[in-house]
Chain A
């Protein structure tokens, strides 16, 4: 079936705008992750969902970042009042089990956010 998809693939925002990034995980995958990847760096963990429950949001950099997965499938990462330092690729990944243990995570193509 289809892999993890993300939209939009590219987003340009003016500083101060709100943005919403969407992730469609692989159908039936219980676990969903958001990561932030700055240019030239490895991804960094933002948050983890098990079905609709957000079990870990320790990686969210500030209270301007908010993620939800209300029906346990599609997830949205929202960034309010974007700042230039928010410019990065935002990656979504999903994994079939709960908890995922050391399961393979399946990554989407990412959304490249540029804040001007």
Chain B
């Protein structure tokens, strides 16, 4: 079983819809990253969080340490949001090694 599980694996939405992508982890962590990967492109870090909630533009990330769960929300989704969204964690005790989920492929149709 992967230490980091994401759901759903694939998500298709219509432009304007509210999107939620979930990440659950089974081990203690020190921090969690949400990353975005466009097809053929590199990976961009969206958020790094260890507690609470962060917001940047239309993106919101939340984490519940007790429940070992994080969510990434996209409000007013747009076709340019289409990408793979990856959750990655620093396992507690590691200060450099990221453990990644498999990613969620989001497609936003116009």
A interface vs B, CB < 8 Å? Answer: 3-4, 31, 33, 40-45, 48, 56, 91, 93, 95, 99-102, 104-110
Contacts and interface: CB of A to CB of B under 8 A. Distances in A.
Helix, strand, loop or mixed for chain A's interface? loop
Contact of B100 (A31, A40, A42): A42
Interface residues of B, number: 24
A104 B44 CA distance: 10
Interface string B5-36: 00000000000000000000000001101010
B66 interface: no
Interface in B57-101: 86, 88, 90, 95-101
Given A100-B95, A106-B45, A44 B102 contact: no
A102 B30 contact: yes
